[in-house]
Structure formats: structure tokens, C-alpha cells
Amino acid sequence: MNTWVQALLKPEPVALVVLLVLVVSLIQGLRRGASGSAKRLFFFIWTAAMVTVSLLLAGNGAALLSPWLRQFLVARNIVVPREELGAWSQFWYTLVTSIRDFELLRFSLLFLLGYLLLRFALGFLEPLVAMAFESLGGGRRSEAERSETMSKAASRTTGAAIGALLGAGRAFVIIAVLFVYVSLLPEGPLTDSIRASSFYNKTADELLQPVAGDVLERGPVLTQAVEAEFRKVLQRKYEVIDSAVPANIEQAALAVVKDAVTAEEKARALYDWLGSRIAYDWDKADNYEEQGIWKEQTPAETFDTRRGVCIDVARLYAVMARTVGLEVRVVTGQGADGRGGFGPHAWNEVRLADADGGWVPLDATWASTGDWFNPQGFERTHIRET
């Protein structure tokens, strides 16, 4: 116990927050007295129990419903129309096809919906529990009032003790939240300060780690999976937005590949065409890097202005490739910057269905610096986000 007190009294942020919670809870207990503090503690425990039950049921329910929902959506055969869509239609097709195709997103949405519904349903029990508590507590208060065995000072003292216990529960919740945060985002803001807290380390090591086991040790992997899923949804958004191909782009794509026969010849012809006609927009890149200003542009704008950054070139290539019957995707990740480092980048992968059926990488943005159509060692300069 002495080591816990010593850790708590060290002047560092986590310990100060916990100490403040304990002091405030103790003062509240003094003011409320025994009955009021007991009621607060009871409903704190009740809420924690309901949250735990809801989380467990929502997780199991999402795991059971996820495969069924995917099969249901696949059976609907939802295809994005190849026409210009309004904002709500874009949102709808992005959402429904992403839920169908991306497992983690589907599970997360089912889990969140299930948790909210369960918490709402269990909320109807709270008034009944409150009535039962008041009934029991009221009987005790009447008996205390008749016998006058408990003085006001004794009530406040008992309330303070209960308040301190409630504060300990609240402090534990705060440490648990910090533990989850540090586990899932080990490189996140303030994580170094949290890890530097001796009180946090003692609580995490002796109380939380034995309970969590190795589940949260896989936190960084889960975080990366969530980030990858988010990027998939973002890419799907672009696919939906870019589903409508303007007539001039379609005509240009068909003209570019008119002499090509194989899928590789078509993919190479489009690569050569974009690589020699779309100039890199250094002003757009500088505005984003130096001022954080990002200008979203459509493939039609890139085609008309003949200017764009890597994501613009990749999106235009994807639109033109799909127009001529190629299966293509936009890939995001890190590209070599020529100075020994890497920076955010985007390129394409195209599937050569009439060859071995495999996907090959290409980078039309870099075409002016060499041949970046499926060269050897492509992966050394392009690190795909997975």
C-alpha cells in the first residue's frame, strides 16, 4: 500500500488527475452523506455491469451476423451505375459496397449498432432498479430517523468513505482508458508522458495487464488493420465518384489503345500516354506540404488541365483503364523521395487477365524519370500500405 501512495503522490500528470478525482469524490461523499453516496456507488457499479454485458453481447452478435449480412448484400448484386451520381448516391454506394466487401468495417458497424441498441434497451431497467434501491434505502433511512442512532457527522463520515471508494473506481476507469489508448496507439500523442507515470505503470502492470493478457499487446496490429480498412473505404469512395466516365475521356482511352491487343499492351499504352501528357502539379503539392491546403480534383479536371499530383494521375489512369476493360486499382503508400527517405505516394496496379492473371504495378507519375511499368525492384521504391 505504501508504494501505491508514494506513486500517487509523485508530481506528474497522471497521478495528479487521479488524486484530483479522489479528492473531488471524497468531498462529494461528505456533502451527500451515507445514503446519497451509497446510491452513487450502486449506480456506478450498475452502469459498469451494463456496459460490460452490452459489449459482450454486441461482440458475439456482430460475429454471428457479419457473414449473414455479407451474403445478403452479395445476393443483392449491387453494382455502381456508370453515370454521374449525386452526393447522397455516392455516399450510399460507397457505404453499402464497403460494408459488403470489408470485413472489419462490417463487424465494427454491427458491433456499434448492437451496443447502442443494447444500452438503449437496458436503459429501461434503470428506473426499476432506482425504485428498488430507493425502497430499500428509504426503509433504512426511516429506521435511522426513528432510532436516531446515526448522527449527521457519522453519515458524512460514512459518505466520505463511500465517496473515496467511488473515486477509486473512477480513477481505475481513467487508468483503464489510458491503458487501452497506449496499447492501441503506442506512438500516439502523450503516450510517452503516460508511460513515464509510475502510478500508471504500477496500476497497468499489477491490475490491468494480468486481466488483459496478450489481447491488447496486439493493439498496434489492430490499429494498422483499422487504418488499412479506412484506406480501402477511401479508395472505394474514389471508385464510386469516378464511376461516371466523361465522353471525352472515354474516347481518348479508346483512341490510345486502338492498336493494342493484349491487356499488357493496353495497360502499357495508357501508361505511356499519361506519363507523357500529365505534368506534375508542384504548386498543389507545395500548398499541401507547407500550408496544409488540399485541393481535391476529379479525373476530368486532371484530364482537362493536364496537371495533377500522384493521386490525381493514379485516379485518371484507373478511369481510363476501366473504360477499355482492364481491371485496375489505385494503391497508396510510401514512395522514395530521391534523398534516402520516403513520402506519401500513390500509383496503380493492373491485372493482366490474358497473361498469368496476376497484378503488376506501374507508376505513371514517375514515367518522366524512367520506365516504371512493372520494373524489377519496384517494391524497393514503393512501399504499399497493407
Per-residue pLDDT tens for 95-141? 899 899 888 888 888 988 998 999 899 888 878 887 777 776 544 55
pLDDT of residue 271: 97
The CA distances from residue 130 to 126, 139, 160, 292, in Å, are: 6, 14, 22, 52
Per-residue pLDDT tens for 4-51? 666 666 778 888 888 888 888 888 888 877 777 787 888 888 888 888
What is the residue-averaged pLDDT of the chain? 83
d(CA 161, CA 29): 7
d(CA 371, CA 266): 16
Confidence of residue 366 (pLDDT cuts 50, 70, 90): very high
Residue 26: count of CB within 10 angstroms of its CB: 19
246-384 — its CATH code?
3.10.620.30
Per-residue pLDDT tens for 47-90? 888 888 888 898 899 989 999 999 999 998 888 887 778 888 88
pLDDT at residue 303 is higher than 60: yes
Contact assessment for residue 24 and residue 170, using Cβ atoms and an 8 Å cutoff: no
Question: Got the DSSP string for 159-209?
Answer: HHHHHHHHHHHHHHHHHHHHHHHHHH-TTSTTHHHHHT-HHHHHHIIIIIH
pLDDT of residue 316: 95
Q: Which amino acid is at 320?
A: M
d(CA 263, CA 265): 5
Residue 356 phi/psi, 5° resolution? -95, 0
Residue 303 phi/psi, 5° resolution? -65, -40
Average pLDDT over residues 166-184: 79
d(CA 101, CA 238): 15
Global pTM exceeds 0.95: no
Q: Give residue limits of the domains in the chain.
A: 2-222, 246-384
d(CA 273, CA 265): 12
pLDDT at residue 310 is higher than 50: yes
Residue 11: count of CB within 10 angstroms of its CB: 7
pLDDT of residue 212: 58
Terminal C-alpha separation, the chain: 46
Confidence of residue 173 (pLDDT cuts 50, 70, 90): confident
pLDDT of residue 321: 94
pLDDT at residue 369 is higher than 80: yes
pLDDT at residue 338 is higher than 80: no
Instruction: Specify burial of residue 320 (Cβ count, 10 A radius: 0-12, 13-18, 19+).
Output: buried
Confidence of residue 237 (pLDDT cuts 50, 70, 90): confident
d(CA 176, CA 194): 12
Per-residue pLDDT tens for 205-222? 776 666 555 555 555 555
pLDDT at residue 299 is higher than 70: yes
- Percentage of the chain beyond pLDDT 90 is 30
- Set of cell numbers at residue 330: 489505385
Average pLDDT over residues 332-341: 86
Instruction: Specify burial of residue 278 (Cβ count, 10 A radius: 0-12, 13-18, 19+).
Output: buried
Average pLDDT over residues 270-285: 94
Residues forming a β-bridge with 15: none
pLDDT at residue 280 is higher than 90: yes
- Set of cell numbers at residue 181: 489508448
